[in-house]
Amino acid sequence: MSTQNLKAAAYQANETLLDGRMLRIRPICPSDKQALEQGLEHLSTQSAYFRFFQRKTHFTARELEYFTEVDFVNHVALVASVFNNELEEPAGVGRYIVLDNASAANVAEIAFAVEDAYHGLGIATFLLKHLTAIARENRVDHFQADVLATNHNMLEVFENSALPMEQHPQGEVIEVLLRLS
């Protein structure tokens, strides 16, 4: 694989949300650090906990670099922005990271965070759709996600994705495996 997938790095898509507003999906870039930090501030305590499995109120400089400076092959991240009265507002982020310890199958961990004000509009579903398309181009065979059993909305996104899915409960966490091929 190349060190950067130029096709994924230039990815752009528009979708229509359930409320009729336009959603733009694009690659994350280093200049998104401030927007990512502000997005974390717009997550409720519960939403941040569902995403990070811990109380999270800020990112370190190193985390911001890691989350925004990706190679678009082994680490792909997309930003979803909603148009409100022609003003584009970041609303969520989806990403996958290819696991080093994956067996013969090319497995990537997938995760999402959507600001609370935008829950229930289909943003995570659209991010999953577009990450799946990029992952297939990058020869990723499976997505894996650790989801808290109480995070019913995220489990529903995966269940409704039409991707073959396995669930493996492990205490309070459910390991979800989605087959892409």
Boundaries of every domain in the chain: 6-140
- Tell me the pLDDT tens digit for each residue of 18-66: 999 999 999 999 999 989 888 888 888 888 888 888 888 888 899 999 9
Nearest to 52 by CA among 82, 95, 9, 98: 95
Q: Which CATH number fits domain 6-140: 3.40.630.30, 3.30.450.30, 3.30.210.10, 1.20.1250.20?
A: 3.40.630.30
pTM for the complete prediction? 0.91
Nearest to 122 by CA among 157, 84, 162: 157
Q: Are 90 and 78 in contact (CB under 8 A)?
A: no
d(CA 147, CA 155): 7
User: Which stretches in the chain have pLDDT values below 70?
Assistant: 1-6, 102-105
> For residue 80, what are the β-bridge partners?
25, 92
Q: Are 73 and 82 in contact (CB under 8 A)?
A: no
Predicted pLDDT of residue 24: 95
Predicted pLDDT of residue 1: 35
d(CA 30, CA 71): 11
